Amino acid sequence: MTYDPNNVFAKILRGEIPCKKVYEDDFALAFHDINPQAPIHVLVIPKAAYVSILDFSAEAAPELVTGFFRAVGTVARQLGLEEPGFRMMANIGSDGGQEVPHLHIHLFGGRKMGRMISKD
């Protein structure tokens, strides 16, 4: 899938639309989801043009892959999610329910998440 530079997270990265930032470093930006599905719902995105884990894992420089996943862990710790735990999720493509075509990891916390995924 070709990366669309006009997707909403690309606009957030360029500062064209605002976000409630929780963390930023050279590799990643984290911000609160606009429509939270849990008491804590934060998105972590790489500062580079990748649609999903598919192109990211295949094409991104090792420093970016490492930096991005380190940032995900840093954000989870910073949000105090280490205990009692949290859910980390990435939607990919149509069946995965991906709405925004820029790689993002959802971090959900602040309540029990239940078992796995919904059946509908």
Catalytic residue among 32, 41, 102, 104: 104
By beta-carbon proximity to ligand 5GP, the closer residue of 10 and 19 is 19
User: Is residue 100 part of the contact set for ligand 5GP (CB under 6 A)?
Assistant: yes
54: contact with ligand 5GP by CB under 6 A: no
Segments in the chain forming alpha helices (H):
8-13, 53-59, 62-78, 93-96
CA distance 112 to 98: 23
Q: Which of 28, 29, 30, 31 binds ligand 5GP (CB under 6 A)?
A: 31
Is 106 an annotated catalytic residue? no
**How far, in Å, CA of 33 to CA of 104, rounded?**
11
Phi/psi for 22 (5° steps) reads -115, -20
Nearer to ligand 5GP, 83 or 95 (CB): 95
Angle, alpha carbons 107-110-114 (nearest 5°): 80
Residue 14 or 62: the one with the smaller Cβ distance to ligand 5GP is 14
| Binding site residues, ligand 5GP, CB under 6 A | 8, 17, 19, 31-35, 91, 97-100
